[in-house]
Amino acid sequence: MEGDRRRGWVPLHEGLAVPRALGGLWAVRHGQSEANAWFADPATERLPMRGTDATVALTELGQWQAQRLGEWLAGLVSAMRPTLVVCSPYLRTRLTWAVMAEVAAARHRGLHPIRTLVDERLRDREMGVFELHPYQAMRRRAPEEGARRQRVGNWVYRPPGGESLADVAVRVRNFVDELDAVAAGEQVLLVTHDAVVMSLRYVLDGLGAPVPDSLEPVPTASVSQWRRDGPRLALRVWGAVDHLGDKPG
């Protein structure tokens, strides 16, 4: 490090933030899905789940979480309320938003319908041959891939036929750049997945930002927020779940 300083090279711990025209950005991870429950169950953690990732639905808990998100949305002050929603095409995110919108409209009679779009760039990380495989199931099926993932790190690990988190960040950056061009000054809500929320943090931290490979996944039904700070969007809320309150008994 001392030699690096003598040569005039000192690594930045923060990125150089890119100016943004958006008024603000919210990112919500979908409610608990059937895959989330499957992956967390010790009885199934070594077995792949049937079906496709795009068609995984919400659990009963996930539907309750979406209702609480709707109450959170209804309670936002008008200046913070989104005027545009962009949703992942996957079923669990579209169901989350559908419940959110219905509950918010019922709780806030003056709430006008919010413009809603679906963009495929907000889909979850594609896992290729390991689609719907819990980590233990992946290691059981292909120990050499589990070892490679551990060796190179999850941020750059690309499963056969799938994406690395770095790949997800590339499409998320493209999405944010286009969103910035068409929604200047607007408050925008994204309903999406953990990999996309993590990529948003990386992209909005700016040029040269360290990769967020040490972050824990944001919880299901969590809320993250970037607010305008001069010409940039600055992170103000990360993975908040206080709006959920106590889980149903």
Q: Mean pLDDT over residues 22-30, rounded?
A: 98
Model pLDDT for residues 102-145, shown as the tens digit of each residue: 999 998 877 788 999 999 999 999 999 999 999 999 999 999 99
The label of the residue with tokens 């989350």 reads 96
Strand partners, 117: 86
Burial 60-79 (b: 16+ CB within 10 A, else e): ebbebbbbbbbbbbbebeee
Q: What percent of the chain stands above pLDDT 70?
A: 94
Q: Mean pLDDT over residues 145-157, rounded?
A: 94
- Cα separation of 11 and 17, whole Å? 15
Q: Mean pLDDT over residues 7-23, rounded?
A: 74
Take residue 191 and report the two structure tokens written for it. 């309903």
Comparing CA positions, the residue from 23, 76, 26, 18 lying closest to residue 183 is: 23
Q: What percent of the chain stands above pLDDT 90?
A: 85
Is residue 236 pLDDT above 80, yes or no?
Answer: yes
pLDDT at residue 249, as a whole number: 64
pLDDT at residue 71, as a whole number: 96
pLDDT at residue 11, as a whole number: 52
| Pairing status of strand 223-229 against strand 232-240 | antiparallel
Instruction: Give the DSSP H or E segment for 29.
Output: strand 24-29
pLDDT at residue 74, as a whole number: 94
Does 3.20.20.220 match the CATH number of domain 18-38+58-125+163-244? no
pLDDT at residue 2, as a whole number: 44
The label of the residue with tokens 């190179």 reads 152
pLDDT at residue 14, as a whole number: 73
Is residue 9 pLDDT above 80, yes or no?
Answer: no
The label of the residue with tokens 């979480």 reads 65
Instruction: Give the DSSP H or E segment for 115.
Output: strand 115-118
Model pLDDT for residues 156-208, shown as the tens digit of each residue: 999 999 999 999 999 999 999 999 999 999 999 999 999 999 999 999 999 99
pLDDT at residue 6, as a whole number: 41
Q: Mean pLDDT over residues 34-56, rounded?
A: 96
Residue 158: exposed, middle, or buried by beta-carbon count in 10 A (0-12, 13-18, 19+)?
middle
